[in-house]
Structure 1
Amino acid sequence: MGTIRITKQFNFETGHALFGYDGKCRNVHGHSYKLSVTVIGTPITDTSHVKLGMVIDFGDLKKIVKEEIVERFDHATVFNRNTPHIELAEELTARGHNVILADYQPTSENMVIDFAAKIKARLPEHIRLHSVKLQETDSSFAEWFASDN
């Protein structure tokens, strides 16, 4: 049996601000992100296995991505830990808002790298992460490919 790639897509809303940026995105704003996660593997051939024919159960992949990414980032605001927005972040947190202080500038490029690492760490041993695509707008996205890293 051949190697197969499967993809699961997710949607979530996240706010952010780009510290030090010279354009509008230095302001706090948000996006309706679309995340596509593609894994690669060989379908299960054991006829006694409940998941016969699957590379990975879509539900299992969904659980990993929801726990690592969607539940954490959905309706959160992400700031670079070194941002001057730290007082705003502390105020929002004190008021019960979900604020993430990242060790990186929260661009789509850096977020997709972070997401790939989180997903890879949770995948079963026989499944490889092939790619992660994070779409920020209808016309803008960042992609991470295992073959490039």
Structure 2
Amino acid sequence: MRKVRLTKEFRFEMAHALWNYDGLCKHFHGHSYILRVTVLGEPIADNNSPKDGMVLDFGVLKQIVHEEVVDRMDHTVVLNKNADIKGFLEIPQMGERVILTDYQPTCENMIIEMAERISARLPKEVELHSLRLNETANSFAEWHASDQ
């Protein structure tokens, strides 16, 4: 077997608040997120291919993750759609980059959505192996395909 794991790291800034939470995170606050994406596959063995020796071109992985996660979530406020945010979305400029989710926007729930979005875009011969989403320097969630 010739399987290899590739990992690429991404960084973005995002704010959120946890609706109906019983701690400080019920208030608007932001994080400098670090997302590590690991894919698994066999390197292409074709001397005629410009991708010879690659599991996946890092540039392709970057494009997928930027389109599905980073460009979408960077400098946004993410809130549960059930939160009482009357008037917030109408504040000029401040309500332009708001994502309303069907779930509580915890690190755990966000990483599940990220896994779904990234997996759907990968070539069929490459699988999403794992994600690690750091919310702070010492707090993170992990998603592993083998756990699903």
Q: Which residue identity is paired with 2:38?
A: T
In structure 1, stretches of 5+ residues that fail to align are none
Alignment pair present for 1:121 and 2:129:
no
Q: How does 1:50-61 map to 2 (within 5 A)?
A: 50-61=50-61
- RMSD of the TM alignment (CA)? 1.3
CA distance in 2, matches of 1:26, 1:87: 18
Identity of paired residues, percent?
A: 55
Q: TM-score, normalised by structure 2?
A: 0.96
Shift of 1:87: 3.4
CA distance in 2, matches of 1:103, 1:14: 18
CA deviation vs aligned residue, 1:31-73 (integer Å, no higher than 9, x gap): 0000000000000001100011000000000000000000010
Contact 1:39 1:131 survives alignment (8 Å): yes
CA distance in 1, matches of 2:15, 2:93: 17
Alignment pair present for 1:80 and 2:76:
no
In structure 2, stretches of 5+ residues that fail to align are none
Shift of 1:91: 2.1
Q: Which residue of structure 2 lines up, in the alignment, with residue 19 of structure 1?
A: 19
Shift of 1:84: 1.3
Q: How many residues align?
A: 148
Contact 1:93 1:99 survives alignment (8 Å): no
Q: TM-score, normalised by structure 1?
A: 0.95
CA distance in 2, matches of 1:56, 1:115: 19
CA distance in 2, matches of 1:40, 1:85: 41
Contact 1:92 1:99 survives alignment (8 Å): no
